[in-house]
Structure 1
Amino acid sequence: MIFVLVYCTAGISGGHINPAVTFGLFVARKVSLTRAVAYMMAQCLGAMLGVWMVMILTGIHYDQAGGAVNLVAPGYSKGTALGAEIIGTFVLVYTVLAATDPKRMARDSHVPVLAPLPIGFAVFVVHLALIPITGTGINPARSLGAAVVKNAEIWDDHWIFWVGPFVGALAAAVYHQYILRSGAVKALGSLRS
């Protein structure tokens, strides 16, 4: 589904459906602050509306599934859950940056068309790993939408589903831009001259 959503919205918003990804692209200087804030607000509102629609359409099944809220699963600590969210979001945001890298697109002309495919696979793989631990947050808007609509006793650990994804996104952007793309070396060189 992520593949389809990113592919369909790429021409409108660049495929921004996740505040953590938008934050990572902001840190990587791929999107302006104004646009990033507007996207994040729209993503959060869209998630709340989406969860509300799912609740209306599915009725009792929504409650049986726990409202799809993200929680720290029994047997896992908050630290483990936070680490899982950081690592999972790192994988996603790094994949987004690598799949949409302009240097790569110049070399591989098929990349713009195929970019949503590795992004969708990254989300799939991260879900396989994180569902047993946190229900897989990696998208603060989705976590917020489910939490607001369900409005249960889930707020104590909700910070994990914001802090983890934003830290993971920051780490991925810094790693991609300033280590792999040697942005730090270029920046240091420009300071010297």
Structure 2
Amino acid sequence: MKKLAAEFIGTAWLVLGGCGSAVLAAGFPELGIGFVGVSLAFGLTVVTMAYAIGHISGCHLNPAVSIGLWMGGRFEAKSLMPYIGAQVLGAVVGAGILYLIATGKAGFELGGFAANGYGEHSPGGYSMTAALVTEVVMTFMFLMIILGATDSKASPGFAGLAIGLGLTLIHLISIPVTNTSVNPARSTSQAIFAGGWAVEQLWLFWVAPIVGAILAGLVYKFISSEEK
């Protein structure tokens, strides 16, 4: 339960910090954060939580991460569904808190509420195919970074920084395409509040990250295996 509580809190913080920066700050040019600021915000949520709860739960904060670590032989199958449940619930609570804050301003319009999308709902107007490829590849690379940075042979103490910077880079690349998911829990939480098209397109932001994570788990297990 302590591990699940840590995942719940950490994922709520990821949504509050990352999606909160997009909803509350990115639309104000005078603040000057834009895509770069939102990208950094997502990365910083992971860095801060990695050092806060990494020693408790591993700081997955993402169903795709849990699945990728399981596929890579780093996580128990019996803990997979409880972790995913805690992550989704934490993300939804984080989005709910963000909604309460955002609607406290007169004239606030919900809009996409930082939801992920493709086609006409892609920030840059990218197709479903482009979105699918982007999410698979970006999640694959994210898991490769995580698996490598947390390897027993990697430099200790720097995993959180590498993973957070990796997520920042992923957002810098893919925000224009899908608004960046690589995290089904984060996508679900925003889609629930945005409704409509966001819920209809949510399938892609579960399928693509999970496929990318599974591939990364298999590939990393292969390239890191010892030669006999």
Post-superposition offset of 1:9: 1.3
Paired residue for 1:71, among 93, 117, 129? 117
TM-score, normalized by length of structure 1? 0.86
Post-superposition offset of 1:154: 1.7
Paired residue for 1:126, among 170, 174, 193? 170
Post-superposition offset of 1:64: 5.0
Q: Secondary structure at the match of 2:113?
A: helix
- Kept after mapping to 2: 8 A contact 1:6/1:17: no
For 1:98 and 1:131, the matched residues in 2 are separated by 24
Bigger radius of gyration: 1
- Kept after mapping to 1: 8 A contact 2:110/2:194: no
Q: Which position in structure 2 is the counterpart of 1:154?
A: 198
Is it true that 1:181 corresponds to 2:181 in the alignment? Answer: no
Q: Give the gaps of 5 or more residues in structure 1.
A: 187-193
Q: Which position in structure 1 is the counterpart of 2:145?
A: 95
- Between the aligned residues of both structures, percent identity stands at 34
Per-residue CA deviations over 1:54-89 (Å, capped at 9, x if unaligned) read 000121587356211111116321111000001110
Post-superposition offset of 1:134: 0.3
Alignment of 1:15-34 (within 5 A): 15-34=59-78
For 1:50 and 1:71, the matched residues in 2 are separated by 20
Moved more, 58-67 or 156-165: 58-67
For 1:93 and 1:4, the matched residues in 2 are separated by 18
Q: Secondary structure at the match of 2:88?
A: helix
For 1:69 and 1:96, the matched residues in 2 are separated by 24
- Kept after mapping to 2: 8 A contact 1:82/1:160: yes
Kindly report the root-mean-square deviation, in angstroms, between the aligned alpha carbons of the 2 structures: 1.8
Higher helix share: 1
Structure with more relative contact order (C-alpha pairs < 8 Å, separation 6 or more): 1
Q: Which position in structure 2 is the counterpart of 1:8?
A: 52
- Kept after mapping to 2: 8 A contact 1:55/1:62: no
For 2:166 and 2:67, the matched residues in 1 are separated by 18
| Alignment-mate amino acid for residue 97 of structure 2 | M
- Kept after mapping to 1: 8 A contact 2:138/2:170: yes
* Runs of 4+ off more than 2 Å: 60-66
TM-score, normalized by length of structure 2? 0.73
For 1:67 and 1:162, the matched residues in 2 are separated by 18
